[in-house]
């Protein structure tokens, strides 16, 4: 399961993340009610040229991290087998490694439980239900190669989209409801930015990010096999961080105008549109790129806000093909 949480609050990419709370003492600006507001029609990026491949979209650290995790897992499995053959008992770590090998089989049942637990407490987005959101989502999905049930096969089938009450949490995540089909859940607090402040480009960016996780295979079950070893060695956060950067690269290509809207994740849905972005990046620069920022980023499964926003800001002048810092 892949998630969107920027990590100011504790999150787990295998489960929906939570964050955020508003101050009841703050008076919010009065926003006139919106009726039949249709989001701006998105522009198809670089229509004259073929879209980048999944390989081109990947952050440069993603595959090396997966390969490294795979090698470590193989070595750990060999060590566990050797321990068993000489008659010694496995440690808790060794038992976890063997369970990890069985993870894809176990996940076959787990994904169904996660799916039904999530969507039975959510509202599905359809042409007649939140049509503004559906229009953006369907357009994105078509551009990215997803097809309706009748035309799509396997993971290329159009993932279902659900809106869930965020209770102040600005989050979204992608996962699987079947072995070969994904789905996306977006929290209501993210959608609020579109309906309340008409920032549909931000909503488009979020949806492109989550579809990017599915398109790039981040929800594939085999990736769970390396988790026990990479988690024990404190490398799993780096694996996820690279995947998050990849999903951001996808979103920067399909929704380039929405990247700056990610500031909402760091100051809330009601204040994001009030942030002076020049002043924000001046503040980021003033904090300097020191040792403790690198430590904080290394230990975070999503790039810290300074790192993530810096990459999105760089893309405004250089285009989508930028690589955020892993440290």
Please tell me whether the overall predicted TM-score, pTM, comes out greater than 0.85 for this model.
Answer: no
Residue position matching structure tokens 């699987």: 176
The domain ranges of the chain are 109-223+239-318
Confidence (pLDDT) at 14: 43
Name the pLDDT band for 10 (thresholds 50, 70, 90). very low
CB 165 within 8 A of CB 172: no
Confidence (pLDDT) at 148: 79
Tokens for 27? 């008076």
Confidence (pLDDT) at 286: 92
Q: Are strands 2-3 and 160-164 parallel, antiparallel or unpaired?
A: unpaired
- Higher model confidence: residue 16 or residue 182? 182
Q: Does the CA dihedral 310-315-318-323 come out positive or negative?
A: positive
- pLDDT tens-digit map of 190-234: 999 999 999 999 999 999 999 999 999 999 888 888 888 898 899
C-alpha span between 176 and 214 (Å, rounded): 9
C-alpha span between 28 and 220 (Å, rounded): 42
Local structure of residue 270 (DSSP, 8 states):
T
Q: Is the pLDDT at 74 greater than 60, yes or no?
A: yes
Confidence (pLDDT) at 94: 73
Least confident of 3-7, 155-159, 318-322: 3-7
Closest listed residue to residue 156, CA positions, set 167, 172, 142, 145: 145
Confidence (pLDDT) at 11: 41
Distance of alpha carbon 213 from its chain centroid, rounded?
6
- pLDDT tens-digit map of 108-124: 788 888 999 999 999 99
């Amino acid at each position: 399961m892949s998630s969107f949480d920027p990590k100011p609050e504790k999150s787990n990419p295998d489960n929906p993340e939570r964050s955020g709370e508003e101050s009841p003492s703050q008076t919010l600006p009065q926003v006139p009610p919106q009726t039949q507001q249709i989001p701006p029609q998105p522009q198809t990026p670089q229509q004259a040229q073929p879209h980048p491949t999944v390989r081109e979209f990947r952050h440069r650290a993603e595959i090396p991290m997966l390969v490294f995790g795979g090698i470590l897992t193989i070595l750990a499995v060999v060590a566990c087998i050797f321990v068993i053959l000489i008659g010694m008992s496995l440690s808790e770590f060794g038992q976890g490694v063997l369970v990890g090998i069985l993870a894809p089989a176990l996940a076959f049942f787990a994904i169904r439980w996660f799916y039904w637990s999530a969507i039975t407490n959510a509202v599905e987005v359809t042409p007649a239900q939140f049509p503004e959101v559906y229009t953006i989502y369907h357009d994105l999905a078509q551009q990215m190669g997803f097809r309706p049930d009748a035309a799509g096969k396997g993971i290329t089938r159009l993932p279902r989209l659900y809106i869930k009450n965020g209770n102040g949490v600005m989050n979204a995540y992608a996962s699987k409801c079947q072995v070969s089909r994904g789905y996306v859940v977006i929290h209501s607090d993210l959608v609020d930015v579109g309906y309340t402040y008409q920032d549909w480009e931000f909503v488009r960016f979020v949806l492109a990010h989550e579809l990017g996780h599915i398109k790039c295979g981040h929800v594939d079950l085999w990736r769970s096999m390396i988790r026990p070893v990479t988690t024990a060695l404190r490398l799993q956060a780096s694996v996820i961080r690279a995947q998050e950067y990849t999903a951001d690269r996808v979103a920067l290509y399909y929704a380039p105008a929405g990247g700056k809207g990610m500031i909402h994740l760091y100051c809330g849905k009601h204040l994001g549109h009030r942030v002076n972005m020049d002043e924000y990046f001046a503040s980021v620069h003033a904090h300097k790129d020191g040792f403790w920022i690198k430590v904080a980023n290394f230990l975070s499964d999503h790039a810290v806000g300074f790192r993530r926003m810096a990459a999105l800001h760089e893309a405004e002048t250089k285009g989508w093909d930028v690589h955020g810092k892993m440290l």
